[in-house]
C-alpha cells in the first residue's frame, strides 16, 4: 500500500486584529508568502466585506479552519516586529485583565504601525449619466467629478450633512459610484535638507575652473569658500554635508547665493533621515555619590534581589531614592542591559528626566502620550535598534504606563517610582491594566528585576513585602541632614467661629506664608480641586446647573468664563441670571485652584503666583514652564492639585499648606483613608528638603480625625496596622481580590435589567461573592446610565476560573435580543 505524503501542506496563520473580539482569526498564506511570513510580523488582511486591517501574526500552522480562510493580502514586515516575549506579555494581559488580544494590540502599538483603511468614494467608470438623480445625489456626483475621489468624512463636510451615507447607498445601488479601500500611508521618516559639494567637482582642475567662474559672483564665491571651510573639505576630517538651515553668510543674501551655487551645479541638495527627538544632552561621567545610609540600602537591595525579583524601597520623602535608582540603572547599562524607569504621569517626569539626561545623556529616552504618532514611532525604533547595537538607540527609557509596550530585548531592570500612584491604572478604554502590577510580569518574562519605590507605599505592595512575597528595604532618614517637616493642624471650625479667616486661610497659615515670603522663601499650597469653584447656585431658588450628559454639577472656570463638566467635557457659558427664577444673584460656591490664585494675589500683592493643575498644563511644555518659573524663584507661591505631590524637589520651599484636608477624608471608598494619608504625606514632603526644617499646615474641620493624627505623627505603619483588620473583615484587598463589572446603556431600564440578569447568572456559581447591581456614586456619565456589580473572591481561588465565568456570563446576557446595545466593562483590581 502506497501512502501519499503532501509535500507542501497548506499554511495558515492565526492573527491578532485591533478589534475587541475574542475569536481567533485564521487566514491562508498564499504560496508567494510561504517561507517569508513570521510570527510577530505584521500582515494586511481583509476583515469583513471591505475593510483592510493591519494584523500581527500570532501563530503559523497547517490546520485548516472550519470555514474557508481568506488569503493574506500582503506582508508589511520581513522579520518579526513583535517578539515572542511581547506576544506572551500581551496574552497574559488579555487573560488577567479579561480583555481581548486586539485591545492589547491597539494599546501597545503606535497608530503609525496600525494601518487601517478608509473608504474612498469615486464615480464608477461604467456609469452613464442618463440616470435620474436627486438634488442631493447630483451634488455629491459634481463634487466627486471635481475631486476624483473623496472620503466619506470629506463628503459629509462638503454636503454639510452629519451623515451622507443614505445618499451614498442610493448612488451605490444605481451604480453611479463605487468604493475603493486604500490603506492609510504609514508615517514616513523625518528628513532634513543638507547641502554637500557636488560630485562634478572631482578634481583640482574642476575646482580651479569653479573658482575662476565665481570671481564674477563675489557673494556666491564668499559662501562657497565658507562652506568648504566649514566642511573641512580639503582635510582628512572632511564632513560630507551640513544642514541647509545652518548655512549663513556674513554679507549679502545667503538664500540667493545658495540658489546660484545650486544652479551652477557646484552644490547639491540631499535629504537625510534625522531624529524627531533631539534633546542635545551630553552625558556627564556616570558617577553617583551615595551617603553611607544609601550605600547600606543599595547593598540590602542587592541581597534581596538574590531571593526576590521584586523589591520595595520604602524611603521617606527626600531620602535620596532617586540616587539609588541611578546607581542601579548605571550597573545595568554597564552590563549591556536595558532599563525601564516608570513614572506615574508626564508631570512628575520633568525633573526626573532632566536628572537622567544629565547623567546618561543620549542613552536615555522619554516616552509618553503627549508625543505625536511620529515621535512615538521614532522612540520605538530607537529602543528596537539598541538590541542590535548597544552603543545606539535607547538602553534607558523613562516613561508612563504605555512604555511597558516598547520592544525591549535585553531588559534587566524596571524602576517603578511612586508605585502607589493611581495614575498607573488605565481606566478607559480597555485594557484597564495597572502598569505597576504588569511591570512585575514583564520583568518575570525577561528575567529582569523590579525596584518599587515610595514614601507611602500602597497597602497592597506593603502587604506583599511584609508577607515575604517582595523584598523590603527601608530608608527612613533624609539625604540632607534636615529633619522631617513639622506638621501642624489648623482648626477651620475654630477659625470660622472666631471670624479670624483671611479669605481661605486660617491665621496660622496666613502668618506662615507671610513669614516665608519675607525671608525670600517659597510656598506650596495644595487643593485637590481645579477650576474656580465646584458649582454655582442661585441664592433665591437654589438652582444649580448640571451637566446634560452626566449626573454631576458643572464646575465654574473663571479664566474661560464658562461652566465645565470634568467627566465628559461638556461646557456652557456662564449664565447672567438664573434660568428658573430670573434672579441675578447666582454665586459661586466652594473653591478650586483658580479661586485660590485670585485670592492670593489680593492677600499678597506683588508676589508672583503659579498654578499647577490640568488646566494650566494642557500643552506638552506647559508643566515644564510652570515649574521652571518656580525653580528659578520667579514664582513665590505655587498652588496645585495632586500634581504637586509627586516627586518635586525645590530647595527653597519652607512652607506647605493643605487648604482643606476634609475633601480627601470624606470620600466614600474603602481606600479613602489610605489615599488621604498618601496625598497629605507626599505634599508635606515638599517642605524643607535641603536647607532647614520645613513647616506644614493642615487646615481641617476635623482636627481630631485619626488619619490627620497619623499624618502629623508620620505614622504610616500605624495606619496600615489599623486598616488591615477592617479590610479583612469586609473582604477587601489585600486580603481578597476584587473585580468590578459596569453595565451601561442610554436607557436606564435596559441597563438595570441587563445588570440584574448578569448578577443572577454570576451568583449561580459565585454565590455571596457577588454584590449588586447598584448605581454608583455618579449614576449617569456621558449619557450612559450605569450599574456596577462587584465580585470579591479569596486569593485561594484561581483568577482564570473567575474571569472565564465572568466572560461566559457576559456573552450570554449580551446576546439576548432585549440587551442589544448594552455595554459591559470588566475592571480587574479596580482602584
What pLDDT, on a 0 to 100 scale, did the predictor assign at position 117?
67
Quote the cell numbers at residue 694.
520645613
8 Å CB contact between 440 and 450:
yes
Quote the cell numbers at residue 312.
520595595
Q: Which residues pair with 449 in a beta bridge?
A: 413
Residue 93 pLDDT greater than 70, yes or no: yes
Quote the cell numbers at residue 739.
473585580
Per-residue CA distances from 294 to 196, 317, 355, 360, 608 (Å): 53, 14, 18, 20, 37
8 Å CB contact between 378 and 277:
yes
Compute the distance between CA of residue 305 and CA of residue 452 in angstroms, rounded to an integer: 12
Q: What is the pLDDT of residues 417-469, one digit of tens each?
A: 999 999 999 998 999 999 999 999 999 999 999 999 999 999 999 999 999 99
Highest mean pLDDT out of 205-219, 603-617, 762-776:
762-776
* 47: enclosing H helix or E strand: strand 42-47
Quote the cell numbers at residue 421.
500612584
The Cβ-side half-sphere exposure at 491, using a 13 Å CA radius, reads 9
Quote the cell numbers at residue 493.
471650625
pLDDT band at 3 (very low <50, low <70, confident <90, very high): very low
Q: How far apart are the first and last CA of the chain?
A: 67
Residue 693 pLDDT greater than 90, yes or no: no
Compute the distance between CA of residue 383 and CA of residue 406 in angstroms, rounded to an integer: 7
Give the residue-averaged pLDDT of 643-660: 85
Helix axes 799-814, 748-766, angle to 10 degrees: 140
The Cβ-side half-sphere exposure at 753, using a 13 Å CA radius, reads 14
Compute the distance between CA of residue 101 and CA of residue 95 in angstroms, rounded to an integer: 9
Lookup result for grid cell 554637500: 196
How does DSSP assign 309-349, residue by residue? SEEEEEE-TTS-HHHHHHHHHHHHHHTT-EEEEE-SSHHHH
Quote the cell numbers at residue 252.
549679502
Residue 250 pLDDT greater than 70, yes or no: no
What pLDDT, on a 0 to 100 scale, did the predictor assign at position 184?
58
Lowest-pLDDT range of 179-183, 344-348, 754-758: 179-183
pLDDT band at 471 (very low <50, low <70, confident <90, very high): very high
Give the residue-averaged pLDDT of 58-79: 90
Residue 207 pLDDT greater than 80, yes or no: yes
Give the residue-averaged pLDDT of 306-334: 94
Domains of the chain: 12-113 (3.40.1440.60), 117-183 (1.10.10.10), 191-273 (no CATH), 292-475 (3.40.50.300), 486-530+593-725 (3.40.50.300), 533-590 (no CATH), 736-828 (3.30.70.600)
Residue 6 pLDDT greater than 60, yes or no: no
Secondary structure (H, E, C), 149-209: CEEHHHHHHHHCCCCCHHHHHHHHHCCCEEEEEEECCCCCCCEEEEEEECCCCCCHHHHHH
Give the phi and the psi of residue 156 in degrees, each rounded to 5. Answer: -60, -45
Quote the cell numbers at residue 746.
442610554
Rounded to the nearest 10 degrees, how much is the dihedral formed by the CA atoms of 762, 766, 769, 774? Answer: 10
Give the residue-averaged pLDDT of 771-788: 94
Rounded to the nearest 10 degrees, how much is the dihedral formed by the CA atoms of 236, 237, 243, 248? Answer: -90
Residue-wise over 679-699: b if at least 16 C-beta within 10 A, else e?
bbbbbbbbbbbbeeebbbbbb
Helix axes 165-173, 135-147, angle to 10 degrees: 80
What pLDDT, on a 0 to 100 scale, did the predictor assign at position 499?
94
Lookup result for grid cell 528659578: 632
Compute the distance between CA of residue 641 and CA of residue 679 in angstroms, rounded to an integer: 10
Residue 2 pLDDT greater than 50, yes or no: no
Lowest-pLDDT range of 61-75, 327-341, 681-695: 681-695
8 Å CB contact between 432 and 425:
yes
494: number of Cβ within 10 Å = 12
Compute the distance between CA of residue 699 and CA of residue 247 in angstroms, rounded to an integer: 60
Compute the distance between CA of residue 262 and CA of residue 736 in angstroms, rounded to an integer: 74
Secondary structure (H, E, C), 62-74: CCCCCCCCCECCE
153: number of Cβ within 10 Å = 11
Whole-model pTM: value is 0.82
Quote the cell numbers at residue 581.
427664577
Lowest-pLDDT range of 149-163, 587-601, 798-812: 149-163
Lowest-pLDDT range of 62-71, 173-182, 238-247, 682-691: 173-182
Compute the distance between CA of residue 409 and CA of residue 40 in angstroms, rounded to an integer: 14
Pairing of strands 695-700, 486-491: parallel
Compute the distance between CA of residue 797 and CA of residue 251 in angstroms, rounded to an integer: 80
Residue-wise over 345-359: b if at least 16 C-beta within 10 A, else e?
bbbbbbbbbebbbeb
* Radius of gyration of the CA atoms of the chain, in A: 32
What pLDDT, on a 0 to 100 scale, did the predictor assign at position 1?
38
What pLDDT, on a 0 to 100 scale, did the predictor assign at position 774?
95
- Ranges of beta strands (E only) in 359-429 are 364-367, 396-399, 411-417
The Cβ-side half-sphere exposure at 162, using a 13 Å CA radius, reads 0
pLDDT band at 673 (very low <50, low <70, confident <90, very high): very high
Give the residue-averaged pLDDT of 381-394: 77
Is the preceding omega at residue 429 within 30 degrees of 0, hence cis?
A: yes
Q: What is the mean pLDDT of the chain?
A: 88
Compute the distance between CA of residue 537 and CA of residue 535 in angstroms, rounded to an integer: 7
Strands in 449-454's sheet, in edge-to-edge order, are 364-367, 396-399, 338-342, 411-417, 449-454, 310-315, 471-475
Lowest-pLDDT range of 322-336, 350-364, 615-629: 615-629
Rounded to the nearest 10 degrees, how much is the dihedral formed by the CA atoms of 153, 159, 161, 162? Answer: 10
Cα 116–Cα 119–Cα 122 angle in degrees, nearest 5: 145
628: number of Cβ within 10 Å = 13
Which stretches within 386-487 are classed as H helix?
Answer: 435-446, 459-466
Q: Is 429 helix (H, G, I), strand (E, B) or coil?
A: coil
Cα 137–Cα 141–Cα 146 angle in degrees, nearest 5: 150
8 Å CB contact between 698 and 471:
no
Which stretches within 527-643 are classed as H helix?
Answer: 593-603, 622-631
How does DSSP assign 102-150, residue by residue? HHHHHHHS-GGGS-BEEEEEEE-TT--TTS---HHHHHHHHHHHHHS-E
Compute the distance between CA of residue 723 and CA of residue 737 in angstroms, rounded to an integer: 16
8 Å CB contact between 758 and 743:
yes
Closest Cα partner for 619 from 303, 310, 263, 371?
371
Residue-wise over 558-579: b if at least 16 C-beta within 10 A, else e?
beeeebbbbebebeeebeeebe
798: number of Cβ within 10 Å = 10
Quick one: DSSP state of residue 479?
S
Compute the distance between CA of residue 629 and CA of residue 644 in angstroms, rounded to an integer: 14
Q: What is the pLDDT of residues 358-380, one digit of tens each?
A: 888 888 888 877 677 777 888 88
More confident residue, 226 or 447: 447
Compute the distance between CA of residue 82 and CA of residue 99 in angstroms, rounded to an integer: 19
Quote the cell numbers at residue 420.
502607589
Compute the distance between CA of residue 295 and CA of residue 428 in angstroms, rounded to an integer: 41
Q: Is 489 helix (H, G, I), strand (E, B) or coil?
A: strand
More confident residue, 283 or 821: 821
Give the residue-averaged pLDDT of 572-592: 92
Amino acid at each position: 500500500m502506497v501512502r501519499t505524503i503532501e509535500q507542501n501542506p497548506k499554511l495558515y496563520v492565526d492573527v491578532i486584529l485591533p478589534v475587541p473580539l475574542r475569536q481567533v482569526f485564521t487566514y491562508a498564506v498564499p504560496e508567494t508568502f510561504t517561507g517569508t511570513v513570521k510570527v510577530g510580523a505584521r500582515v494586511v488582511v481583509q476583515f469583513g466585506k471591505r475593510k483592510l486591517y493591519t494584523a500581527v501574526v500570532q501563530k503559523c500552522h497547517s490546520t485548516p479552519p472550519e470555514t474557508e480562510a481568506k488569503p493574506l493580502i500582503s506582508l508589511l514586515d520581513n522579520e518579526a516586529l513583535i517578539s515572542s516575549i511581547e506576544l506572551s506579555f500581551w496574552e497574559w494581559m488579555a487573560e488577567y485583565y479579561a480583555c481581548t488580544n486586539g485591545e492589547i494590540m491597539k494599546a501597545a502599538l503606535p497608530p503609525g504601525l496600525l494601518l487601517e483603511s478608509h473608504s474612498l468614494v469615486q464615480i464608477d467608470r461604467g456609469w452613464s449619466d442618463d440616470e435620474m438623480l436627486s438634488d442631493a445625489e447630483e451634488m455629491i456626483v459634481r463634487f466627486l467629478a471635481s475631486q476624483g475621489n473623496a472620503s466619506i468624512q470629506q463628503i459629509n463636510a462638503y454636503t454639510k450633512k452629519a451623515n451622507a451615507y443614505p445618499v451614498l447607498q442610493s448612488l451605490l445601488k444605481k451604480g453611479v459610484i463605487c468604493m475603493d479601500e486604500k490603506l492609510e500611508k504609514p508615517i514616513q521618516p523625518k528628513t532634513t535638507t543638507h547641502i554637500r559639494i557636488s560630485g562634478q567637482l572631482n578634481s583640482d582642475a574642476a575646482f580651479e575652473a569653479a573658482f575662476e567662474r565665481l570671481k564674477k559672483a563675489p557673494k556666491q564665491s564668499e559662501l562657497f569658500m565658507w562652506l568648504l571651510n566649514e566642511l573641512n573639505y580639503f582635510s582628512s576630517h572632511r564632513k560630507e554635508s551640513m544642514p541647509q538651515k545652518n548655512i549663513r553668510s556674513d554679507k549679502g543674501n545667503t538664500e540667493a547665493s545658495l540658489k546660484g551655487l545650486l544652479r551652477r551645479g557646484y552644490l547639491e541638495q540631499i535629504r537625510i533621515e534625522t531624529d524627531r527627538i533631539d534633546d542635545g544632552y551630553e552625558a556627564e561621567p556616570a558617577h553617583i555619590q551615595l551617603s553611607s545610609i544609601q550605600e547600606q540600602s543599595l547593598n540590602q537591595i542587592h541581597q534581596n534581589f538574590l531571593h526576590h525579583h521584586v523589591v520595595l524601597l520604602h524611603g521617606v520623602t527626600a531620602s535620596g531614592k532617586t540616587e539609588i535608582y541611578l546607581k542601579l540603572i548605571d550597573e545595568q547599562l554597564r552590563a549591556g542591559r536595558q532599563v525601564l524607569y516608570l513614572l506615574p504621569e508626564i508631570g512628575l517626569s520633568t525633573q526626573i528626566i532632566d536628572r537622567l539626561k544629565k547623567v546618561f545623556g543620549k542613552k536615555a529616552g522619554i516616552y509618553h502620550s503627549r508625543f505625536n504618532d511620529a515621535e512615538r514611532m521614532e522612540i520605538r525604533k530607537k529602543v528596537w535598534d539598541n538590541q542590535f547595537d548597544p552603543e545606539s538607540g535607547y538602553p534607558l527609557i523613562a516613561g508612563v504606563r504605555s512604555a511597558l509596550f516598547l520592544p525591549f530585548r535585553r531588559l534587566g531592570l524596571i524602576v517603578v517610582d511612586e508605585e502607589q500612584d493611581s495614575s498607573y491604572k488605565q481606566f478607559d478604554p480597555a485594557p484597564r491594566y495597572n502598569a505597576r502590577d504588569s511591570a512585575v510580569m514583564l520583568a518575570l518574562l525577561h528575567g529582569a528585576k523590579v525596584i518599587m519605590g515610595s514614601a507611602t507605599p500602597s497597602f497592597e505592595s506593603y502587604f506583599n513585602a511584609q508577607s515575604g512575597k517582595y523584598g523590603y528595604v527601608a530608608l527612613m532618614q533624609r539625604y540632607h541632614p534636615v529633619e522631617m517637616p513639622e506638621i501642624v493642624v489648623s482648626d477651620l471650625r475654630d477659625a470660622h467661629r472666631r471670624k479670624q479667616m483671611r479669605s481661605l486661610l486660617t491665621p496660622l497659615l496666613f502668618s506662615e506664608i507671610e513669614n516665608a515670603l519675607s525671608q525670600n522663601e517659597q510656598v506650596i499650597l495644595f487643593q485637590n480641586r481645579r477650576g474656580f469653584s465646584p458649582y454655582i447656585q442661585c441664592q433665591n431658588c437654589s438652582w444649580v446647573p448640571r451637566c446634560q450628559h452626566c449626573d454631576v454639577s458643572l464646575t465654574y472656570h473663571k479664566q474661560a468664563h464658562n461652566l465645565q463638566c470634568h467627566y465628559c467635557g461638556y461646557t456652557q457659558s456662564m449664565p447672567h441670571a438664573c434660568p428658573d427664577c430670573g434672579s441675578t444673584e447666582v454665586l459661586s460656591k466652594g473653591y478650586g485652584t483658580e479661586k485660590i490664585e485670585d485670592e492670593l494675589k489680593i492677600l499678597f500683592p506683588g508676589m508672583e503666583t503659579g498654578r499647577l493643575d490640568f488646566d494650566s498644563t494642557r500643552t506638552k511644555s506647559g508643566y515644564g514652564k510652570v515649574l521652571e518659573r518656580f525653580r528659578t524663584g520667579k514664582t513665590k507661591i505655587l498652588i496645585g492639585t495632586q500634581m504637586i505631590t509627586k516627586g518635586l524637589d525645590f530647595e527653597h520651599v519652607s512652607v506647605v499648606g493643605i487648604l482643606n484636608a476634609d475633601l480627601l477624608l470624606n470620600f466614600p471608598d474603602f481606600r479613602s483613608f489610605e489615599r488621604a494619608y498618601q496625598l497629605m504625606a507626599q505634599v508635606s514632603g515638599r517642605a524643607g528638603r535641603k536647607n532647614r526644617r520645613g513647616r506644614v499646615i493642615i487646615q481641617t474641620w476635623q482636627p481630631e480625625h485619626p488619619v490627620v493624627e497619623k499624618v502629623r505623627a508620620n505614622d504610616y505603619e500605624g495606619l496600615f496596622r489599623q486598616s488591615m483588620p477592617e479590610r479583612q473583615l469586609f473582604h477587601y484587598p489585600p486580603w481578597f481580590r476584587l473585580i468590578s463589572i459596569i453595565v451601561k446603556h442610554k436607557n436606564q431600564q435596559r441597563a438595570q435589567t441587563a445588570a440584574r440578569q448578569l448578577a443572577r447568572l454570576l451568583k449561580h456559581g459565585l454565590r455571596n461573592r457577588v454584590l449588586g447591581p447598584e448605581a454608583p456614586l455618579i449614576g449617569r456619565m456621558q449619557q450612559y446610565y450605569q450599574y456596577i456589580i462587584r465580585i470579591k473572591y479569596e486569593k485561594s481561588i484561581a483568577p482564570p476560573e473567575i474571569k472565564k465565568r465572568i466572560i461566559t456570563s457576559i456573552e450570554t446576557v449580551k446576546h439576548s435580543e432585549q440587551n442589544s446595545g448594552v455595554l459591559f466593562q470588566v475592571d480587574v483590581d479596580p482602584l
